[in-house]
Structure 1
């Protein structure tokens, strides 16, 4: 590995602030020949903190257009990264089902690029690191050569996003948002009790227990009961 790469990667991997780490990543990939670099959390689809994790230096008009047209909902890159751990190259074939999005990318000078998914199975959170440029097709050799760097950097940015979310949670999620009953049910769930068990213990119907679990899941911005229990425990709510 060239010395400058080693130095920059070492600096990035020791960084504790996600915005600073992203700037280092942007500089690193620029040195590799990419004008643009972006990192975002692609799932869960909602959540006050994760909605803000969208770091990139794409043209302002593109970011505005992407948001106004809700391109995320039809973006094949996002769909791929949510279900796969393999990189994906930006090309006409990838965008075959949404040619208008491919045309919009080309119009903004974002024709040549690729994206690397990053998955956190414990937290059910998926991220995406992308590199792009206005000229020069991405060859298979270049992708293979840069893949290792993308894996390291995407994992680092993803970890910092989760770390930042955890540090914000005591302020963003508190007992005032989870009702006493929701907290109580999650606490029993953390002890391995099923909905049927909890219904018996609290003298409720199983349907009522599941209703409160569903509300807690929605409030915590997760996708299932296990994740809700983990999130509540990490936020010191139970």
Structure 2
């Protein structure tokens, strides 16, 4: 086991093309006991010049459904990763507000997995996810493989980042207030309006007011979409 890991990590560290690096990463992930590997990276720019790269071996039916159903606007895992670099396990409670997404995901064989992200000073956010159809992920397994996943994520992130033009890496300005940004940051890590109110020593209605304003300013329809938009814009 140690030999193939060292060999594949060496190959990955030498790979400078994203397609080659992803294929090596996919093989490494499969040897770690997972069927699926997904990597995505989004630049903070808006409009027609936004850079977004998605690489995965998910079922094509799932990729199409995810896009057509606009699941990216309600995906709690995506929202968490856009606001935090702390790894997150795919668990049913994470999808308590989006049970339809959770069921659709499982129907495609994406039962057990985890995701983690990398954020850099230019506002780039990349997300690596590994998943499989059978066997829950134990705390020990997560701990054992976390370092490899972090290496994969950072290497793929670095390959993309160095090839993006400097102009596309400049985070856009935003009209969000400091308090609105603060509320979105806590929302990104799963805090409820009630919990945020306690942390900030304000009323729950005040927290909801800030969330509503942020949603309006960012031009989205709900809190999760606001978190994702703010994170992609490099605001949080």
TM-score category of the 2 structures, normalised to the smaller one: 0.5 to 0.7
Runs of 4+ in 1 over 6 A off after TM superposition: none
Unaligned runs of 5+ in 1: 173-220, 225-238
State the Cα deviation string for residues 149-193 of structure 1 (Å, max 9, x = none).
011110001111112323xx79x9xxxxxxxxxxxxxxxxxxxxx
> Deviation string for 1:183-223 (max 9, x for gaps)?
xxxxxxxxxxxxxxxxxxxxxxxxxxxxxxxxxxxxxx965
Corresponding residue of 1:190: none
CA-atom RMSD, angstroms?
Answer: 2.2
Please name the residue that 1:158 is paired with: 157
Under a length normalisation based on structure 2, what TM-score does the superposition of the two structures give?
0.68
Deviation at 1:2, TM superposition (A): 0.4
Once the two structures are overlaid, the 10-residue window that deviates more, 106-115 or 37-46, is: 37-46
Say whether residues 1:89 and 2:89 are aligned partners.
Answer: yes
Task: Point out the structure with max Rg over C-alpha.
Answer: 1
What TM-score does the superposition give when structure 1 sets the normalisation length? 0.67
Deviation at residue 49 of structure 1 after TM alignment: 5.6
Say if 2:129 is the partner of 1:149: no
- 2:130, 2:105 → 1: CA distance? 13
Superposed, 1:105-120 pairs within 5 Å as 105-120=105-120
Query: 2:39 aligns to what?
Result: 39
Q: Give, in whole Å, the separation in 2 of the partners of 1:77 and 1:48.
A: 25
**Which gives a bigger RCO, structure 1 or 2 (Cα 8 Å, sep 6+)?**
2
Q: Which runs of 5+ in 2 are unaligned?
A: 169-231
Match of 2:72 in 1: 72
1:13-28 matched pairs, under 5 angstroms: 13-28=13-28
